[in-house]
Amino acid sequence: MWMLIRRELDNMVTINLRRSFQAYIIFGLVFVLFMWLLGPRVIGYFEAEMFSLFVFMAGMLSAVASMLFTIEEDDAERQISFLQTLPIRKRDIVHAKFLSIFLVCGFMFIWVSVLNSANLLMNDVWTMESWMDVFIFLAVLIFLVAENLLWYFLRGLRSNWIFYFSFIAWMTVLVLLGFNRPSGISQSVICGVSLISSFLAYPTCWWLSVRKVHHKGFPLEKDNPGRKNTEKHIEELKRRQSERQS
């Protein structure tokens, strides 16, 4: 199981996990510098809440992009079909996908929490309610990735417009709940309900995905004309090489 999870995590980064962590740290330090320079205490170009929104958007985009990258890579290279030829249970492939994405969400939550706290403290607007917005971010992110993973295991990538539509929809929910709070409802109640709902939704989507794969198998992978042409070219080169040797 761990090897499958490591494979998923490796596919989500461009180089390797260690350098990806370093890149996030460097990007975070640069972000903090810009928050201090452009924030209300120095130049005053942006309000602190606007920086919090930027941080949340960056974290959500990064997590969703990592998930979509590994899904599209698996689909293009027919990795799911390949894994099924190995002594690996189908449900373990689903478990690895959900566990790896959940780990990414946890990392993004820590990264966003640190940047958002730095923003609020540097600009002297830190309050418990404003800091608790990170929990709404976590809830919305979990809802988003759970929905997208369930859709992938149900329909595959044949209708991938749903991934982009759901990102816009859940980003709107984040703005409405985190920055345009409903009147008469405390922030702690909103955070509590959001987190409980998301942590119920994630295992539910996980269970539904396992059941679907167990009973009906994985969705069909999209045809990749470029990959087919490459395979034909390789076969042609092998044929010519064998003719020369004979």
The tens digit of pLDDT for each residue in 141-180 reads 999 899 888 888 887 776 667 777 777 787 777 777 766 6
158 alpha carbon, distance to own chain's centre: 19
Instruction: Say what the pLDDT of residue 109 is.
Output: 92
Confidence of residue 46 (pLDDT cuts 50, 70, 90): low
Report whether pLDDT(229) > 70. Answer: no
Residue 155: how many other CB atoms lie within 10 Å: 13
Helix (H) or strand (E) holding 234: helix 225-245
Confidence of residue 71 (pLDDT cuts 50, 70, 90): confident
Query: What is the arithmetic mean of pLDDT over 216-240?
Result: 60
Mean pLDDT of the chain: 76
128 alpha carbon, distance to own chain's centre: 27
| Neighbouring residues of 53: CB distance < 8 A, sequence distance ≥ 6 | 175, 179
Q: Do the beta carbons of residue 195 and residue 138 sit within 8 Å?
A: yes
Query: What is the arithmetic mean of pLDDT over 31-59?
Result: 74
Confidence of residue 77 (pLDDT cuts 50, 70, 90): low
Tell me the per-residue pLDDT of 139-149, one tens digit each, with 9 for 90 and over. 889 998 998 88
The more confidently predicted of residues 231 and 69 is 69
**Percent of the chain surpassing pLDDT 70:** 71
